[in-house]
Amino acid sequence: MQRRTFIKSSSLTVISISAFGGLNWNGKNFEGDNATTTDILGPFYRPGAPLRSNLRLPKSNGAPIVLRGIIFKEDGKTPINNALVEIWHCDEQEVYDNASDDYNYRAAQKTKADGKYTFKSILPVPYKADPNDEASWRPAHIHMRVSVPDQQDLITQIYFKGGKYVETDKWSSSPGAVNRILPVSKSSSGESEIVFNVVMAKEFPLDPKVYARITGLYQLQDNMNVEFLKNDDLLFMKQNGWLRASLKYIGNNSFVGGIGYPKVVFELLKDGNVKVVIERTADITYTGTKFLKYEQ
């Protein structure tokens, strides 16, 4: 094999492996992990969904499905007890329940020693994120958050094989989503089911005192305001009353969103204030400072 061809083939192998997880060089070869990949939080997450396994509504004409799986530790083999699994999705009319006390098509449950979870719901449908933009159609998907002490909280989304817009959507068509595009198959009882096993990642903790300094309201340019809130081991970014992004800590006072954006870096200033740099995309960056100085 020619050297150029070998390099090209090797590069493709690395890319295909990295779509399933991370890669580390141990001095001899690449080692890949199989942690479940993250996705965007989306604008419709509501904390506090009721603990229940059945989300179906009596008068719904949506297609019934069962979503089930197992939550594993980072070894991909050990089930996790008492993991909190939250899911949310739109209804058959393309609508999310963002306000009612019923939390329609939103639910949570805790795993037992076998790490298993099961939700009964309906198959969500595609929807247009911007009514005036035909390019904003999102494929049908289910959002999921998994929270486990001493493991990195997971925010992700599940898509469906053969689904409309899966190949054109910015997030479902990204390499990191390849293992989250799942078939809808028939169970032994004849029900339509989706099986999604989750492998958690190790937590990279940040000193609580630093969280105390960086959380709060920030004034950005163009009179924009952004609030950062700590929730378990995630940092939520809130704007105009909506939770816009979930960020995980990656070291050096830096955080990153589910698909690599936004990237957020905090600088702890000598006068007690805090500066933030928010890279929303590769081309759009905002900077600002906290409204109030940190009280020692």
- Give per-residue pLDDT as tens, 28-59: 433 345 899 999 998 899 999 999 999 999 99
Q: Among residues 162, 177, 202, which one ends one of the domains?
A: 202
pLDDT tens, position by position, 64-93: 999 999 999 999 999 999 999 999 999 999
Mean of per-residue pLDDT scores for the chain: 87
Whether residue 190 sits in one domain with residue 261: no
Final residue of a structural domain among 169, 202, 235: 202
Give me the CATH number covering residue 284: 2.40.128
Reply yes or no on whether the pLDDT at 23 is more than 90. no
User: What's residue 14's pLDDT?
Assistant: 32
DSSP string, 121-179: EE----EESSTT-GGGEE---EEEEEE-TTEE-EEEEEEETT-TTTTTSTTTTSGGGGG
Q: How far apart are CA 122 and CA 281, in angstroms?
A: 34
Same domain, 233 and 187: no
Question: pLDDT tens digit string along 186-228?
Answer: 988 888 999 999 999 988 888 999 999 999 999 998 888 999 9
Whether the per-residue pLDDT at 62 is higher than 80: the answer is yes
233-254 b/e (C-beta count within 10 Å ≥ 16 → b): bbbbbeeeeebbbbbbbeeebe
Q: Quick one: 90 and 147 in the same domain?
A: yes
Give the domain extent around 90.
64-202
**For residue 112, is pLDDT > 50?**
yes
Do 163 and 108 lie in one domain? The reply is: yes
Q: Using a cut of 0.95, tell me whether the model's pTM lies above it.
A: no
Indicate if 82 and 101 belong to the same structural domain.
yes
Total domains present in the chain:
2
How much is the pLDDT for 82? 97
Mean pLDDT of 132-151: 94
Residues 151 and 232 in one domain: no
Q: What is the mean pLDDT of residues 97-101?
A: 96
Examine residue 11 and state whether it is found in any structural domain, yes or no: no
Last residue of a domain, one of 202, 236, 254: 202
Residues 181 and 265 both lie in one domain: no
Residue 169 has pLDDT above 90, yes or no: yes
Please compute the mean of the pLDDT values over residues 154-174 and round it to a whole number: 96
Residue 272 lies in a domain: yes
68 part of a folded domain:
yes
Q: What is the CATH number of the domain that holds 98?
A: 2.60.130.10
Is 55 contained in some domain?
no
Q: CA nearest 196: which of 174, 170, 177, 171? A: 177
Q: What is the pLDDT of residue 10?
A: 31
- On whether residue 221 sits in a domain, the answer given is yes
**122 is a domain residue:** yes
